[in-house]
Structure formats: C-alpha cells, structure tokens
Amino acid sequence: MVTITFIGAGSVVFAKNLMTDIFSFERLRDSTITLMDIDPQRLDRAAEIGEAIVDSHDLPGEIRATTDRREALEGADYVFNMINVGGEEPFENEIRIPEEYGVEQAVGDTLGPGGVFRSLRTAPTVLDIARDMEELCPDALLLNYTNPMAILCWAVDEATDTDVVGLCHSVQHTTAAIGRYLDVPSEELQHWVAGINHMAWYLELEHEGEDCYPALRDAADDPDIYAQDPVRFDVMDHFGAFITESSHHLSEYLPYFRTDRDVIDELTPEEEFGHYTIEWMPTGRYLEHWRSYQPDLEGELEIDEDDVALERSPEYGSRLVHSIETDEERRMNLNVRNDTGAIANLPDESCVEVPCLIDGRGIHPCSVGDLPSQLAALNRTNIAVQERAVTAILERDETALRQAVKLDPLTAAALDLEAIDEMVDDLLAANAEYLPDLN
C-alpha cells in the first residue's frame, strides 16, 4: 500500500483528476489518499468525489480527509502540493495594480510582479510543509504543482532537506498543439525538451525519424495556424526553437509583446489550452477562468459517471508514482535543481525543466549539455528574477524583492525604476496581510 497526501485538496477539479489518475493504475488501487485543506467545505467536496470513485469501482483504496496538515503528512510516501495561499483578493491585486502602472500581465502567476509577489505569499507555507515533511515523513517525495514553480522548488531545495520535484503539463499540452499544427498524432512525436518551467525548448522534434521543424515552419506560414499561436511562432522564427507554454503565458515572460495596446488587441485569438479555451492576451483574462473553476459549495454535490471514470489525464504525477513503485521506466520532463549539471550553461542552483528517467530508484535527470546560447540567454532573464525572489523569500529581504521586479523583462520594458518602486509600494500595502515581514 502506498500513502499519498494531497495538500490543498480544495482544488476540487484538480484533486479529482489526480485521484482518478492514481486509481487508474491497477498497482496503485490499494493506495491510501489523504486529502488536506484548510477550507472544510472544499475538503468535504473533494472527499465526496474521492469516496465516490472508490465506491463506484469497488476499489481496495481508501480516502481520508483532514484539516490538520501534520496529521495528513504523518507517514506519507508522496506529498502533492497544490495550495493557493490567500485566494482571490491578493491574486487580483497582483494583476490589477501592475495594470494601473502599464504592466499588462496575462496570468501573473509565474514571473513579473504577480509571480514575484505570489511567490512571497506562497513560499512560507510551502517551506512549512517541507519542514514538516522532514520530521513526519523524511523519506517522502514532495511533488509540487503550485506556481511559481521554479521559485518555490528553488526555495525548498535551498532551505530544506526535503526532496522536491516540480510537475507541469506544458510539455504535454505543447506537444498536443504541435500535433494539431502538423496534422500528426501527438503520441507519435518524439521530442527532446529542456530549459526552465514555462520556457523550455524543443531541441529535437521528430516524427517517424524525420525532423519536424521544416514542416512546423511551413505550418506557421498558414495564417489560420499562425493565428492560433503567434507568440510562439514569432519566438521560433527569431530564436530558432519552439517553446513550451502557450502564447498567452509566454507573452508575459518577454519584453516584446505586451507593452503596446494595439499589439495586445491585434494578437487576441482564442487558443486551445488543455481542457478549456480562453482569450490569452487581454490582461487578467485568466482571473476570470480561475473564478469559473471554483467549486459550487451550495447544495448537494451531483456526481456523474464522468466524474468517477478511471481515465488517465496527461498529468505526470500518477505516472511518476507508478514508476517508482513498480520500477517501470518512464521518461518525462520534470523541474529539478540543476546541481547535476543537466543544462551546462545555466546556473547550478537554478531550477530547470529537463528530461528525467524515472524508475524504482527514483528520478534521474538527463544530461542536456549546453543549450544554444540565444535560448540560454532568454532563460537567464527569467532565472535572474527567480534568484532575487528566492533571496527575498529566504532572507526576508525587501531590497531583493524590489530587484526581482526590476529585473523582470516585461516590467523593465514598461516602466522606469522609480515607477517600479512605486508599484512595489502599492503591492506591499495592498497585500500586507498575506505577506511576511520584510527587512
């Protein structure tokens, strides 16, 4: 039996998907899944769905639920982190206050003022989880799904002895998008992808032994296809490689696309992004999506066959657990510390997203060598922000916080240094109750 803990299980839809993923493997069907959230109503919703999954398939597994984090972590083998600290108010502030200054973020959860401030309010709780794990389940693996991925994993690696790995779905979703553009089944594509989270590069892309890049460049010349992913196609054209993460996200990690309202208005296609469709360019559009996915806590929960179907999603989490538990080897892109030198021309202490082999002995990052210099240079612009944010978190250093925002490519393209300080002042004041005290 495997004991798996979900911290932040009140993310009901995501928790449901992870539970069905885990129980879809026969070897994991006797798992004990412990759900933990600070919101009892959300927790009850997730537990109801989990129990329905177990009951409808007569599984030997067990669902437990608790609002006590330490109780949930006691004896766990794997800990999934999917918390959201603070809820809607600070999230909206992190979008709207920069918008007032002319910093037009698309999502604001990974980089930029939004990502930096989100890390500052989220990291203390994630570090508390990791430190509890050191005491209560020292051999457990922390699987982090919470953004900003790289900053949080970097902080945990730097400050604790807990083993942590970051999981994202951008490689799976990007490969599916490329399959659509090329009219090729995505499962038939072979790729070698490396970089950082939300900015990893398709260094190799093949179908049946043939390089796909010529066909992908031809596809970009089709106006209908280009309109689905203009930022990524432009980056490929100028820098030579297709990139993970969708155009709406990518646009806010670079200085080129979100400083001119006419450009933002021009580049507003609807894009398939996983299981939903959004307009990716307008500022804060993701906030509306986030609201739409909050569970309805009123009335009785209605559960249908689709809710309990043991259909496996593209998420890596269950596959990673299954490989470690069964010694079935898999390769997947994961976010890990670069101290093995997986990417030789990125900093050793940074968090990189690279191919990893998973087996019964654990996670083994693959050696990528040097990225092409122009791709590494773009990664470093984001890593510089991440490094200053980690310093701000671990040392409670307000100067490092301000430097992180000043180094952000989009912010620097939109504002001068004095205006950035004023924006940071406003964010600190607006979100004071959600943030640690700074020196």
The residues annotated with a catalytic role in the active site are 169
Return the structure tokens found at 14: 């995501």
Dist CA 39 CA 432 (whole Å): 22
State both tokens at 284: 């804060």
CA distances from 314 to 112, 167, 210 (A): 28, 11, 25
What's the CA gap between 3 and 353, in Å, rounded?
A: 27
Residues 60 and 64: their CA atoms lie apart, in Å, by 13
- Please give the C-alpha separations between residue 269 and each of 97, 197, 224, in angstroms, as whole numbers: 25, 24, 10
CA-to-CA distance for 239 and 75, rounded, in angstroms?
A: 47
Phi, psi of 190 (to 5 degrees): -110, 135
75 sits in the region (left: phi over 0; alpha: psi -120 to 50; else beta) called: left
Helix runs in 143-206, H state only: 149-159, 170-182
DSSP per-residue letters across 194-256 = EEETTEEEEEEEEETTEESHHHHHHHHTSHHHHTTSHHHHHHHHHHSS-BSS-HHHHTTSSSS
DSSP assignment letter at 139: T
